[in-house]
Structure 1
Amino acid sequence: MPDLQPTLIGETVELRPTVSGDWTALFAVASDPGIWAIHPAHDRWQEPVFRRYFDDALASGGGLTIRHRATGRVIGASRYRIDPDNPQACEIGWTFLARDHWGAGTNREMKALMIRHILQWFDVATFHVGETNIRSRRAMEKIGGVLSDRTSTAVLADGPVVHVIYDIGRDAEIARA
């Protein structure tokens, strides 16, 4: 059985299982509307909306809290989810980072840790990215995500949102680094 809530330690970040006591620190980061401005869940900075996200992370068994090692500060979260349609794939997603960590290599480092970990059990890591979320799509391409021809649809506050799906397999550079 794969470990969906490992502790992963990188050069600048540490990922560990999300626990109920993480609420205050994670909401402090997530309450920045700028994080969600072009995200499909653009209202996630609001407390009731983020509460649903947080509770779902706890219930999922795959939620991870991201901490900056040098400062000890919580800077975001991510999650694993086994793909029910493809038992050889594990989805990585629901990721957000404090804006002061955008463009600083933090996303690449944490995703590399997560990808290398999960590919011990699965053939591919998948990422569902909002079709219009250009920032996240560019980030996926930067780390070697390959755009597939598959899509998924999620129902959010404004209605259905199409997500494109990126894949990263064991042979990807980020998985081998």
Structure 2
Amino acid sequence: MPQPIPDARLVVRQPEEAPSFWQPVPANGFVRCLLDSAATGAETPFAMGTQTVDPGCYVREHLHDANEEVILVQEGEGEARIEGATHPMRPGTIFFLPRNQPHSFHNTGKGPLTFVWLMLPGGLETFFARIGRPREPGALPPTPFPRPENVAAIEAETVFGRLPS
């Protein structure tokens, strides 16, 4: 029988136990950073969480030059814009985004758009924490707030990615 990786450990988190952060405009909404290599001790670096985007809001176009990303839509309606094409986002839709693939997500529905994200390697969890504001379960959303002025430096420091050239 294969042996477990020495530093890896079982982690079980209930829905509101994960670190969570309100997000600035234009996405608004919030993220939950469910798991990452620091929490699990996993040998393969990764980060996994959810993002909820408010109606009429969006995740701006960006790419990840050091990460591959998987998106799985859980709730709501929207559209992903990738390579000039628009792809519907509805529960069960899944995307694999290779490195350097510009993409954006737009909530076109009347309710929240929520998707699971998986980043290989991680870095997105740190980015969300640095640009957002801590969120407590059951708290009312804050008044919309802007991204930090040094967001480009935060992106570079967290291996998040960059805006397309």
Q: TM-score, normalised by structure 2?
A: 0.31
1 or 2, which has the higher helix percentage?
1
* Structure with the larger RCO, 1 or 2 (CA within 8 Å, 6+ apart): 2
Q: Tell me which structure has the larger Cα radius of gyration.
A: 2
